[in-house]
Copies of this chain bind each other. A is one copy, B any other.
Amino acid sequence: MSRSRLAIALVHHPVLDKEGATVTSTLTNMDVHDLSRSAKTYGCTDFFVVHPIEAQRVLCERIVAHWTHGSSAKRIPDRKDALSLVRIVSSLSDAVAVLGEGTLLWVTAAREIGTTLSWPDAARTLAEGGPPVLLVFGTSWGLGPEVTSKADAVLAPIDGGSGWNHLSVRAACAIALDRLRR
């Protein structure tokens, strides 16, 4: 049996700010690059950049176009392979619509919000094959409860054993994919 299709999503709304209020974060250029490169390395089929504001989606389109069709596509062709995975959508449901009915939504969180799935079990599920999985990351201080409460699974917080856990989303995504697809 072949392994499950795996895609990632980076959400800019609804996410939490430092005080726990629901906000919309701005697009970060390096997130687009780093998450694309990690997704490509670990064989993900899609990287959904989720932003509800049109001007931010247009900005993301310009970044992607520069690296997939502009001068940088010629200068660093490897980057084109990675950025080609980017799909720009306005909501997570648009991402699920692309992947098809039955897609499982797996969320990640730095804080303990009620883990339902361990990393080894998640890796095993993917390896055994089944419906597509969309692995969702939040920007800012993490995904809002509107997203996490609807998830099919909540993965365990990444624990480095130090009691301190404030990884960048670029680092967290890389570690998550390595644990799931190594």
Closest chain B residue, CB of each to CB of A169: B34
A33 touches B178 (CB 8 A): no
| Distance, CA A81 to CA B167, complexed state (A) | 12
One of B41, B78, B165 near A41 (C-beta < 8 A) = B165
Assuming the A-B contacts A30-B30, A162-B43, are A178 and B181 also in contact, with contact meaning beta carbons closer than 8 angstroms in the complex? no
Tallying the copies of this chain within the complex gives: 2
| Distance, CA A175 to CA B180, complexed state (A) | 12
Chain B residues with CB below 8 A from A181, complex form: 160-161
Chain B residues with CB below 8 A from A34, complex form: 168, 170-171
CB distance from A82 to the nearest CB of B (A): 7
A166 touches B30 (CB 8 A): no
Chain B residues with CB below 8 A from A168, complex form: 30, 33-34, 37-38, 170
Chain B residues with CB below 8 A from A175, complex form: 174-175, 178
Query: What are 18 contact pairs spanning A and B, CB under 8 A?
Result: A34-B168, A40-B164, A41-B162, A41-B164, A41-B166, A41-B167, A41-B171, A42-B160, A42-B162, A43-B160, A43-B162, A78-B166, A160-B178, A167-B174, A170-B170, A171-B171, A171-B174, A178-B179
